[in-house]
Amino acid sequence: MKRRDFLKSAGAVVASSAVTAPAIWSPAKAQARQETLLIVSESGPNNIDIHGVGTNVPGYEVSWNCYDRLISHEMKTVNGTPYYDRDRFKMELADDMNVGDMSVTFKLKKNATFHDGSPVTANDVKWSLDRAVSVGGFPTFQMGAGSLTKTEQFVVVDNNTVRVDFLKKDRLTIPDLAVIVPCIVNSGLVKKHATEKDPWGLEYTKQNTAGSGAYRVVSWTPGTEVVMERFDKWAGGAQPKVRRVVWRIVPSAGNRRALLERGDADISYDLPNKDFSELRNNQKLSIISTPYSNGIQYLGMNVTKPPFDNPKVRHAVAYAIPYQKIMDAVLFGLSKPMFGAPAGTKTEVAWPQPHKFTTDIAKARQLMAEAGYPNGFETTLSFDLGFAGVNEPLCVLTQESLAQIGIKCTINKIPGATWRTELNKKVLPLYTNVFSGWLDYPEYFFIWCYHGKNSIFNTMSYQSPKLDSMIDAAVDAAAINDTAKYETNVKGFVDLAFADMPRIPLFQPYVNVAMQKNVSGYQYWFHRRLDYRSFVKG
């Protein structure tokens, strides 16, 4: 059997399995297994272009590994784990970076080519950055978070040099060029597939990679499998050790665990926390747990419509959440509590940090009565089915606890492929979600999640001109190193967010990764996804 046929047949076996985890690899394929990294997860990408409409979080992983950016981050070590260094950058497609007072100039690597062999030019860079600020939605807002909003900011100096002009002094601008969104796309290839209705070729790149990154997608069956192969002419860094990545979608957590324990899969990172806790104790696998940088899981409420437009209702919900039960029964301690700060605790110049609410059903009932809902009300509680391992038991416990104060919740399970689209409609009355800011600064998180000026992840539709002004003031203060002004405004917007409570922080999640003992090289990145370039199979 040919290797490609074998991979396809193995994928079919996994997809058809309901209870018993199948054996994927035969001894005859030992060599293929040695040069292949097999990943199993609960959900997969719905789009492999970060610029696409509604691209989900798994789609970020494909984009990160298949496309380059001008720059990336150096690594440091945090609690024994390689961890991206927020403040130090390294060159990727760029060979040199020269930061001026109001611009930054990049010289490109002269040997960089796209997967089809065409050279990477300054025109490709400009077209790609123009695309990012023009397609709208999440990519364009992400660019704007670093004051990158106009195509005129991206200037071709010569075939090998591009300049990015600053609209204003903003400490987020340079870091924003190292996130997933400003990836460099093969403009010549994509333009061939563009149309009048689709000038940026998004339909083509939704299913085809057009980058210069370390890997390229060779096959993708949505909901089943993604296969990526190494690009041996990658110029962005040292050649990866792993030749092939096979990413299988195995919805059953029991199957994923069995595949790992039998040695038939190399990595999984979204098992239930109970499994991670047990696997750590039996020591058959390498388990790495790292807190999300700048991230929380929260309960969000749409504050534009009754009953959640009433702050007392929101406070009642905050008092009714069974925080410790969630920590114990869902997370098994693999997260950091974001609740129950002792009275008198001073607000820090940091994010995330815990609020002072704890579970107090009597207090919650009192607030419901004061809000005019002594008998409660009915609503829906929504979650992303793509991450059901945590979301579903969390919602069941919350449903049970809210029932004690008269709030009757119907749980709404939204498929992972459509979750981002439904969330961004901003009509869900009550929901749980995770948000982790790619740039690890408090003001950056609040720009995304609380700012009233069309922030797409302000899914509560929360509007507070006072809070907006404090976020803006913190951004401006950081740009000129005005520490006193910065600290005052960060403390101010955290306090106001906790007073108005449009979203209730629950916990800071951990990225939990289980790997075979012969797999090494895991690195924690701001996007929380796997970077295949660093992995090694022994």
**Buried (b) or exposed (e) across 292-307, using 16+ Cβ within 10 A?**
bbbbbbbbbbbbeeeb
| C-alpha–C-alpha distance, residues 450 and 289, integer Å | 28
Query: What's the domain range around 309?
Result: 296-508
Is residue 393 over pLDDT 80? yes
> Is 367 in the same domain as 394?
yes
Whether residue 273 lies inside any domain: the answer is no
Report residue 389's pLDDT band, with 50, 70 and 90 as the boundaries.
confident
> Is 446 in the same domain as 335?
yes
Whether residue 199 lies inside any domain: the answer is no
464-493 pLDDT, tens digit each: 999 999 999 999 999 999 999 999 999 999
> Is 346 in the same domain as 463?
yes
Tell me how long the chain is.
538
Q: Which is higher by pLDDT, 359 or 269? A: 359
> Is 248 in the same domain as 344?
no
Q: What is the gyration radius of the CA atoms in the chain, in angstroms?
A: 24
Is residue 4 over pLDDT 50? no
pLDDT at 29: 61
Q: For 183-193, what is the mean pLDDT?
A: 98
pLDDT at 28: 47
User: Could you write out the DSSP letters of every residue in 208-263?
Assistant: S--S-SSEEEEEEETTTEEEEEE-TT--SSSPPS--EEEEEE---HHHHHHHHHHT
pLDDT at 445: 97
Residues 135 and 194: beta-carbon distance below 8 Å? no
> Is 311 in the same domain as 460?
yes
> Is 106 in the same domain as 24?
no
Whether residue 279 lies inside any domain: the answer is no
Is residue 302 over pLDDT 90? yes
| C-alpha–C-alpha distance, residues 357 and 341, integer Å | 7
Is residue 47 over pLDDT 60? yes
Is residue 408 over pLDDT 70? yes
| C-alpha–C-alpha distance, residues 307 and 405, integer Å | 14
50-59 pLDDT, tens digit each: 999 989 999 9
Q: For 376-400, what is the mean pLDDT?
A: 96
pTM for the predicted model, two decimal places: 0.88
Please give the mean pLDDT across all residues of the chain.
Answer: 93
> Is 339 in the same domain as 452?
yes
Q: For 173-191, what is the mean pLDDT?
A: 98
pLDDT at 455: 85
CATH number of the structural domain spanning residue 376: 3.10.105.10
CATH number of the structural domain spanning residue 8: 3.40.190.10
Is residue 10 over pLDDT 70? no
pLDDT at 24: 52
CATH number of the structural domain spanning residue 112: 3.90.76.10
Q: For 439-460, what is the mean pLDDT?
A: 93
> Is 119 in the same domain as 232?
no
> Is 178 in the same domain as 229?
no
Parallel, antiparallel or unpaired: strands 430-436 and 295-301: antiparallel
Is residue 68 over pLDDT 50? yes
> Is 471 in the same domain as 352?
yes
Instruction: Tell me how many domains the chain contains.
Output: 3
Report residue 18's pLDDT band, with 50, 70 and 90 as the boundaries.
very low
Q: What percent of the chain has pLDDT over 90?
A: 90
93-151 pLDDT, tens digit each: 999 999 999 999 999 999 999 999 999 999 999 999 999 999 999 999 999 999 999 99
Whether residue 375 lies inside any domain: the answer is yes
Q: Which is higher by pLDDT, 349 or 417? A: 349
